[in-house]
Amino acid sequence: MKKRLLILVSGLLFTFGTIARADEGMWLLPLLKQLNIEVMQQKGFKLSAEDIYNVNNSSLKDAVIIFGRGCTGEIVSEKGLILTNHHCGYGAIQQHSTPEHDYLADGFWANTLQDEIPTPGLTATFLVRIEDVTSKVNEAVNNGMTEAERDKAIAEAGQKIAKEATDGTHYRGRVQSFFGGNQFFLLVYEEFTDVRMVGAPPSSIGKFGADTDNWMWPRHTGDFSVFRIYADKENKPAKYSTDNVPYKPKHSLPISLKGVKKGDFAMIMGYPGSTQRYMTSQEVDERMKISNANRIFVRGIRQEILLKDMRADKAINIKYASKYAGSSNYWKNSIGMNKALKRLKVYDYKKANEAEFTKWVNADPERVKKYGEALTLINQAVAERKDYLHSLQYISESLLSGTEIFQIAGAGEKLEEALAQNNKEEVAKIASTLKNRAPGFYKNYNAETDRKVAKAMFRIFAENVAQQYHPDIFTTIQTKYKNDFDKYVDEMYNKSIFVDSTKLFAFLSKPNLKALKKDPAYIAAKSIFAKMDVIRKNIEPMDDKLQKGQRLFIAGILEMNQGKAMYPDANFTMRLTYGEVKDYYPMDAVHYDHLTTLEGVMEKEDPDNWEFVVPQKLKELYQTKNYGRYAEDGKMPVAFISTNDITGGNSGSPVMNNNGELIGIAFDGNWEAMSGDIVFEKNMQRTISVDIRYVLFIIDKFAGATRLVDEMKIIQ
């Protein structure tokens, strides 16, 4: 865009002319002073915009991190101590667990700094600054470009801008698109790679309620874990070393024990992953009938198989715990989203908005010229790509994500090329890469479980995807095995070198082209990837059409709403949302309070159901009311809800009061508003957070890890 946007687009738009409510919106930090701070202060916020975001001085942003690759965390001590969700730390907890030391089941607490466990691959990333670079990026594009040409030009311009901004530093930069390619920001980050596990409650606390309570309120889950950042002696990022020392942050969050009351100001900063609040009615229909419906069906079948094996064998449970949790999370999300989209009549609501947009466009010939084709392009693309999208998702969900052996077998394609060319140097290089990758894969893999899954996945793929989209391996199954999927899968797992690390390493010690080309898992993987590439190529023109339509549609909404405080869709960049602690009425004659307590944990206890087992020590603390300074009116708070606008990626985000003090850790949304990624539901959308008092109670009284509490700045 030629002029710098001073407003950000509203994702919901109850009508396109409505200003976003104060508790709706994922706001960009540099624009808070222009757009939000007055409203925030009217709601009770006592700090300034500069206290939140400041490039040159310490501010709240310096205490908020990207935890790993998809969550948020916060710094809570002058020694780099991190709080995040238990489900965000779950992969690391699982990584360090064994049947002998099952930290998932039993929890883990480091007694000293020396006991904190290095966690290879885990990172903590700080935002250094954000800069609007729209005018620089737009210099590289013109209206005569195709979407592919435009994307390439934008990428090249973004890389150049990021390089110029970070040359000579240890920072990394990235230019990201906002508003569907209508605005661009440079984001500069500092990444730390020595992050160590400090503490985690047992899953009976950190995952209490598991799948049953996931996305539900009332909630009684102590969803938190503790890590620490280490740096070199200059306080700079460094690879793991015993010489590294705890990181000294620019800012750490003080912790309030004052508790939460209905109507209290609540603010969240974090990294919401993705929202799609500009979706048209046809895109909503596509999401419900294809993307969500397929995910619900395929994952439901796979998860049932996994869970049966996990519950029968402790070692398998450890291997698959993190994978199962990740799969189940968005499986249930899709179920809830479809229910909410139907109940709230979102399709009809979107149709009405599109009619209003069309009326506005048609009122001016110049607007017709600029935006007249936007909705037509979107609707055409959605209609044309229907079958391709369906088949691509089935390939992904059932054959690639669902059947794990293909994830490692597919890596053999480059090896085949090198062997065919007799390129010994390249063969050795690829074999070395596979050897390095293999231990991580097989550590969390059970071939017999995968075999059971594969039999189900091949069958449902054949039954639910048109034959023209089948990989060639299905022809082999039909002709050679008479569509006996069990027989085919058994033979593949019995004969493949990829079924376990011993066979694979024996092969890689002396790679052989003939053996690779005959391997049944490799043959299948190669066939699957080839068909996926063909489908992707066929869908590209439709995706380009969709992208152009979305860009024009959002640009039109920008112009239509000029002068109003608006925000862009989430894209895993730091955002701020503000609202209040508040109860709600999910249905007629039903009221949900804003706070839960330990009493509710005891009410839900079911020793015969793994999801609701309560640790004996927690029961003893409850019975003796040994809550220390963390209680309120003789009760132990567990979780609370607020009207903040968040989504996936915000998991682990700090919830702060009007003084910028930590009062909770966000970890979920509520079932009645699962359509929130597409539409903000003003009456019922709630953020579920674990109360910081429960976090400290578990650390201090349950775990006895008082040394960690002693590090923190506690506000009584």
pLDDT tens-digit series, residues 589-605? 999 999 999 999 999 99
* Residue 572 covered by a domain: no
Residues 448 and 493 occupy one common structural domain:
yes
pLDDT band at 525 (very low <50, low <70, confident <90, very high): very high
Residues 230, 301, single domain; the answer is: no
**pLDDT value for 23:** 83
Q: Number of folded domains in the chain?
A: 2
Residue 106 is predicted with a pLDDT of 97
- Angle CA 253–661–76, to nearest 5: 20
pLDDT for residue 1: 32
Q: How confident is the model at residue 528 (pLDDT cuts 50, 70, 90)?
A: very high
Apex 621 CA angle, 615 and 627, nearest 5: 130
Question: What is the residue range of 115's domain?
Answer: 30-195+220-253
Q: Scanning the structure block, which residue is given the tokens 């991580």?
A: 440
Give a yes or no: residue 305 inside a domain. yes
Q: Both 320 and 186 in a single domain?
A: no
- The reply to whether 464 falls in a domain is yes
Q: Which of 507, 527, 548 is a domain's end point?
A: 548
Do residues 311 and 228 share a domain?
A: no
Q: What is the pLDDT of residue 19?
A: 42
684: in domain: no
Q: Band of the pLDDT at 84, cuts 50, 70, 90?
A: very high
Place 345 in a pLDDT band, splitting at 50, 70 and 90: very high
State residue 14's pLDDT score. 36
- Nearest C-alpha neighbor of 179 from the set 599, 553, 663, 647: 553
As a whole number of angstroms, the distance between CA 584 and CA 670 comes to: 11
| CA–CA distances in Å: residue 392 to residues 176, 303, 404, 532, 555 | 26, 20, 17, 7, 30
Instruction: Say if residue 225 is in the same domain as residue 296.
Output: no
pLDDT, one tens digit per residue, over 188-230 is 999 999 999 999 999 999 999 999 999 999 999 999 999 999 9
Question: Of 495, 526, 548, which residue constitutes the final position of a domain?
Answer: 548
User: Does 355 lie in the same domain as 237?
Assistant: no
405 with 517, same domain?
A: yes
Query: Given pLDDT bands bounded at 50, 70 and 90, which one contains residue 565?
Result: confident
Q: How is residue 67 written in tokens?
A: 């935890």
Own/partner pairs, 486-490, CB within 8 angstroms, 24+ separation:
486/455, 488/458, 489/451, 489/454, 489/455, 489/458, 490/451
Same domain? 322 vs 465: yes
Cβ pair 91, 325 in contact under 8 A: no
Asked whether residue 241 falls in the same domain as residue 327, the answer is no
Cis peptide before 607 (omega within 30 of 0): no
Q: Is 140 exposed, middle or buried (0-12, 13-18, 19+ CB in 10 A)?
A: middle
Is residue 716 in a domain? no
Domain ends where: 501, 517, 548?
548
Looking at residues 533-539, what average pLDDT do you find? 97
Residues designated catalytic: 87, 223, 651
The answer to the question of residue 404 being in a domain is yes
Q: Is residue 190 included in any domain, yes or no?
A: yes
Note whether 238 and 303 are same-domain residues: no
Read off the tokens for 176: 């990201």
The dihedrals phi and psi of 195, each to the nearest 5 degrees, come to: -120, 130
What pTM was computed for the model? 0.91
Same domain membership, residue 326 and residue 228: no
Whether residues 249 and 308 share a domain: the answer is no
The reply to whether 411 falls in a domain is yes
pLDDT of 564 reads: 86
Region 221-246 average pLDDT: 98
